[in-house]
Chain A
Amino acid sequence: MKLNSISREKDVTLLELLDLILDKGVVISGDIIISVADVDLVYLGLRVVLASLDKLYPPLDGEV
């Protein structure tokens, strides 16, 4: 099989996978209120249950 055929086949597989896993499957939804010191800052109707942002996106080296 030629390399460009292999590459195209991988692209097609990736596109098919994208269509399946981004748009379909079990959905876990939650209503989240992010609050600090009993003050509700943000209300989010989300597909995920979150922690604080620094736990989600730990700082890169040197980044504050």
Chain B
Amino acid sequence: MLYLYGIIDSPEPIYYTCSGRNIYTLAYNDISALVSRGDGPMTRVTGENVIIHGEVLNGIVEKQALLPVRFGTLLGGGDVEGLLSRNYHQFLASLNEVRGMVEMSVRALWNAAEEEEKCRQGNDFSDPREDLPGNPGTLFLMQKRRQLLLERCLKSAAGIPADEIHGWLSRAAVKHIKRVLPSPAMFFHGSYMINRERAGDFAAEFSSLRDKFTRYKFLLSGPWPLYSFVSLNCR
């Protein structure tokens, strides 16, 4: 069994060790699969396995164009060549697209309780039908309606600063993804595909942004391999 970490744009043999794992490549034409010996326990979602998976890719991403594979992918030893040949053109096209690029991630947090209170004070979520005698089913639906209206209000409130933050940061990006209110406390999460050499410029833009939006808390991470911008499903 082999554990698959990613697909790279080099047919030359590569070998390195990372946290006790021997990492090597199996080539097909001008691309290769980045693998190590694998077994079931390596696919368990533990902190150690997750960090090793990330470190393996960090060890190669600065040298090669890389398509990172999702965590926990095992292959039979004889299946690698088939995988690469069946998906060769798709892999090649994607590698050309990601060459020299990295992913930066920005998350923004707000005071969820405060924002919820603003929504409740600024809107009347009640319904006159709530005063009518009703059965439990009706009351349940009324409660669901209130919840839905609150969620809609919060999403709308999050959208305004999210749009502004994303507009600011996406200027420096080749591609970008915006997520509004992915969780109650996180009103914004943006992913940005940028040229590796511009990572410093992006960090500077982020610092300016943080100075402007002082009521929010921000998290910048990266550069990462392009996990969010590689949406291939392969067989």
Q: Does B13 touch A at the CB level, under 8 Å?
A: no
A26/B71 in contact, CB under 8 A: no
Residue-wise, chain A 27-64 has the 8 Å CB interface mask toward B (1 for contact) of: 11110000000000000000111110001111000000
B interface, size bucket: 35 or more
Chain B residue with minimal CB distance to A17? B54
Of A13, A16, A47, A51, the contact of B72 (CB 8 Å cutoff): A47
A25 and B227 in contact, given A49-B75, A56-B1 (Cβ under 8 angstroms)? yes
Chain B residue with minimal CB distance to A56? B40
Shortest CB–CB separation between residue A61 and chain B, in angstroms?
14
Shortest CB–CB separation between residue A7 and chain B, in angstroms?
12
Question: How distant is the Cα of A50 from the Cα of B233 in the complex, in angstroms?
Answer: 18
Give the most central of B53, B70, B105: most A CB within 10 Å: B70
Neighbouring A residues of B43 by C-beta, 8 Å: 48
A12 and B219 in contact, given A24-B70, A27-B234, A49-B79 (Cβ under 8 angstroms)? yes
Question: How distant is the Cα of A50 from the Cα of B221 in the complex, in angstroms?
Answer: 34
A55 and B70 in contact, given A25-B227, A27-B234 (Cβ under 8 angstroms)? no
Chain B residue with minimal CB distance to A24? B227
Q: Does B165 touch A at the CB level, under 8 Å?
A: no
Residue-wise, chain B 55-80 has the 8 Å CB interface mask toward A (1 for contact) of: 00000000000011111111110010
Q: Does B47 touch A at the CB level, under 8 Å?
A: yes
B83/A28 in contact, CB under 8 A: yes
Question: How distant is the Cα of A28 from the Cα of B231 in the complex, in angstroms?
Answer: 11
Question: How distant is the Cα of A50 from the Cα of B68 in the complex, in angstroms?
Answer: 20
Neighbouring A residues of B219 by C-beta, 8 Å: 12, 16
B41/A21 in contact, CB under 8 A: no
Q: Can you list 7 A-B contacts (CB < 8 A)?
A: A14-B47, A25-B68, A26-B70, A50-B74, A55-B1, A55-B39, A56-B1
